[in-house]
């Protein structure tokens, strides 16, 4: 039974990684490429490592595989956020089909400060928020 579960997890993980690769090739800009690179690739790697944990009947290997899954799940979104922020700061252009740029006028590139919508032009919080 474990062979079937392992095979299913390997196929599922490979399919997610394949979809992530196709998504990275098909998306038009760096901001939209982050979606398949983080979500699908994280699910794919998680399935592959889970297959390793199911296949090997060793507590040490299972523990390391589960720790690696937790590490990937915790670090992939942070890495994608940092890549997107760095791309925005250095001025990587948005795709021409992008409708809304919610950071335009909200981010001071020189100071590295993001103003919230609840702040007015003076930098102080607005009374009551928005």
First-to-last CA distance in the chain? 56
Three-state DSSP state, 48: helix
Rounded CA-CA distance 17/69 in Å is 15
| Whether this model's pTM surpasses 0.85 | no
Local confidence pLDDT in tens for the 130 residues of the chain? 899 999 999 999 999 999 999 999 998 888 888 888 898 889 999 999 999 999 998 999 999 999 999 999 999 989 998 988 888 887 777 888 877 776 777 777 777 777 776 655 555 554 444 4
Q: Are 34 and 83 in contact (CB under 8 A)?
A: yes
Report the residue count for the chain.
130
- CA distances from residue 47 to 4, 9, 39, 123, 126 in whole angstroms, order as listed: 14, 5, 12, 46, 46
């Amino acid at each position: 039974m474990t062979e079937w579960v392992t095979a299913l997890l390997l196929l599922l993980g490979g399919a997610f990684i394949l979809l992530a690769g196709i998504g990275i090739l098909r998306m038009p800009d760096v901001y939209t490429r982050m979606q398949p690179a983080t979500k699908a690739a994280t699910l794919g790697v998680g399935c592959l490592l889970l297959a390793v944990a199911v296949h090997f009947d060793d507590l040490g290997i299972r523990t390391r595989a589960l720790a690696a899954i937790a590490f990937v799940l915790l670090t992939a979104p942070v890495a994608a956020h940092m890549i997107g922020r760095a791309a925005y700061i250095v001025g990587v252009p948005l795709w021409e089909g992008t409708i809304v740029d919610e950071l335009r006028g909200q981010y001071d590139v020189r100071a590295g400060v993001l103003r919230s919508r609840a702040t007015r032009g003076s930098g102080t919080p607005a009374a009551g928020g928005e």
